[in-house]
Amino acid sequence: MNYKYPLPAGQLLEYYKGRLYVASGNYLYFSDPYADYYDQRRSVYQFNGEITLLRAVESGIFIADGKTHFLKGDSPLEFQKIENILDSDAIIYSDGRILGEYIGKKVGLEYAIWTSTKGICIGDPEGSAVIVSDSYAMQYSSYRRGAGLFWKTDGKEQYIGVLTI
C-alpha cells in the first residue's frame, strides 16, 4: 500500500469492468480492481492532448485527445490502443450512451454517442466509430464544451446536444 493513493480529481469519470477511470488534463488514471485508489507507479497513461472523451462500451473505452482513439481490452494491462479511429476531437461533456435498438443496431448492446469537432458520432461496442451528421450544416469546431443526452419520448428517439463556445 506504500504507492497507493486516492484517485485524483479530474474532468471525466468512467466505470469499466471493475475499475474507475479518471481523466485529468492529458492523463488517464485507473483504479485497482473494485477500489477507489490507484498505484502511482503504473496506473496512469499519458496522452498527447487534454482528454475530452472517456466513454466505455462492451469491448473497451473511447477516448479523445485531439483525435479519437479506442482502448480495446478488458483491463489496462491488456489494452490495445487503436489510434485515430476518427480524425477529430470530441467536444467535452457531449457524450452519452444509446441502446442499439434505437439506432437500428443489435438489440441490448450499448453504443457511445458524442459530438465531435466534425459532427455527431456513434461508437459501436467493438470500437469502430462513424460521424452520422452533416458537418456542413454547422461549424462544430468552434465549440469548446457541451452537454448531450439520448432521449426517447412518444416513440421518437433523439440525441439532444447543447454546445457552448
> Is 162's pLDDT higher than 90?
no
The amino acid present at 126, given as its one-letter code, is E
What grid cell was written down for 48? 498527447
Task: Please say whether the beta carbons of 111 and 57 come within 8 A.
Answer: yes
- Tell me what pLDDT residue 150 has: 76
Beta bridge partners of 150: 159
Number of domains in the chain: 1
Task: Please say whether the beta carbons of 49 and 66 come within 8 A.
Answer: yes
> Is 139's pLDDT higher than 70?
no
3-state secondary structure of 35: coil
119-123 and 156-164 beta bridge pairing: unpaired
3-state secondary structure of 73: coil
**Average confidence score pLDDT of the chain:** 89
Identify the band that residue 144 occupies on the pLDDT scale cut at 50, 70 and 90: confident
**Measured between alpha carbons, how far is 100 from 163 in angstroms, rounded to an integer?**
25
57-115 confidence digits (pLDDT tens): 999 999 999 999 999 999 998 999 999 999 999 999 999 998 888 777 878 889 999 98
Report the candidate in 89, 111, 92 with the shortest Cα–Cα distance to residue 157. Answer: 111
pTM: 0.88
- Tell me what pLDDT residue 141 has: 67
Judged by average pLDDT, the poorest of 22-26, 52-56, 116-120 is 116-120
**Measured between alpha carbons, how far is 53 from 40 in angstroms, rounded to an integer?**
22
> Is 138's pLDDT higher than 80?
no
Give the domain extent around 140.
4-164
What is the residue-wise DSSP string for 6-33? EPPP-SEEEEETTEEEEEETTEEEEPST
- Tell me what pLDDT residue 100 has: 84
**Measured between alpha carbons, how far is 133 from 145 in angstroms, rounded to an integer?**
18
The amino acid present at 58, given as its one-letter code, is E
Percent of the chain with pLDDT over 90: 62
- Tell me what pLDDT residue 142 has: 65
